[in-house]
Amino acid sequence: DQQVKQNSPSLSVQEGRISILNCDYTNSMFDYFLWYKKYPAEGPTFLISISSIKDKNEDGRFTVFLNKSAKHLSLHIVPSQPGDSAVYFCAAKASGGSNYKLTFGKGTLLTVNP
Amino acid sequence: DAGVTQSPTHLIKTRGQQVTLRCSPISGHKSVSWYQQVLGQGPQFIFQYYEKEERGRGNFPDRFSARQFPNYSSELNVNALLLGDSALYLCASSITGDSNQPQHFGDGTRLSIL
């Protein structure tokens, strides 16, 4: 049973436009959410995170929005650049006894076209 | 500062063999986590160690074991290798591992089983 779902395997956008990557979760115990970017032959690189007490967190071109009632979060990249082309993983951490592990989605391949 | 380092980068083994993967965390990080990523999936949690003690274990068989050393580096051991163990093995470190802080990943060890 997949607790973190990224339903879009791929997304293609034009350079300079907005990229919106979506993530849904089912576990109500998740209280901390992260986005990672992964290039081929490299490990995941941390991008941005958000705690469940917030609904928005911004860092430069990257903004993460959290809708707890819908169990949905999204990553906005504005403006998109060709170097942003990578696989993006949504991850979540639960509160309580299993607060040490990250649960990942399957990832979304973002392609930014020049 | 050096990031998380993993060795070797690539490894080829045959079924039934045993393998040891190594990880050095970011300086000052006391927690190390191991993840398995198979093609087309997100990373799956295997273990977390903190202060040389196992804090948590994912849904992996007893063929998988790990340990953490006094310098906080870690080894992942897999015995009686199966074809299905072919994957990218990722190590992540964080300061304590159990609070709202990101885990930082190494570039992984690509394990191929023939």
Of B90, B98, B104, the CB nearest to A100: B98
Domain enclosing residue A13, as ranges: 4-113
Q: Is A91 an 8 Å CB contact of chain B?
A: yes
- Whether chain A has a CB inside 8 Å of the CB on B54: the answer is no
Rounded mean pLDDT of A24-52?
95
Q: Which residue of A has its CA nearest to B58?
A: A101
Q: Which residues of B64-84 are buried (b: 16+ CB within 10 A; e: fewer)?
A: bbbebeeebbbbbebeebeee
Say whether pLDDT at B87 is over 90.
yes
Residue type for A64, please? V
Residue pLDDT, tens place only, B31-70:
999 999 999 899 999 999 999 999 999 999 999 999 999 9
Residues 90-109 (B) with a CB less than 8 A from some CB of A: 90, 92, 97-100, 102-108
CA dist., res. B54 & res. B66, Å (int): 8
- Mutation target for A interface from B100, B104, B105, B107: give the one with most A CBs within 10 A: B100
CATH number (domain holding residue A13): 2.60.40.10
Please state which CATH class domain B5-113 belongs to.
Answer: mainly beta
Tokens of A66: 């959290």
Beta bridge pairs of residue A66: A73
Which of the four pLDDT bands, split at 50, 70 and 90, describes residue B1? low
Considering its fold, how many domains does chain A have in total? 1
Q: Please name the member of B42, B99, B106 whose beta carbon is closest to the beta carbon of A106.
A: B42
Positive/negative CA dihedral, A111, A112, B2, B8? positive
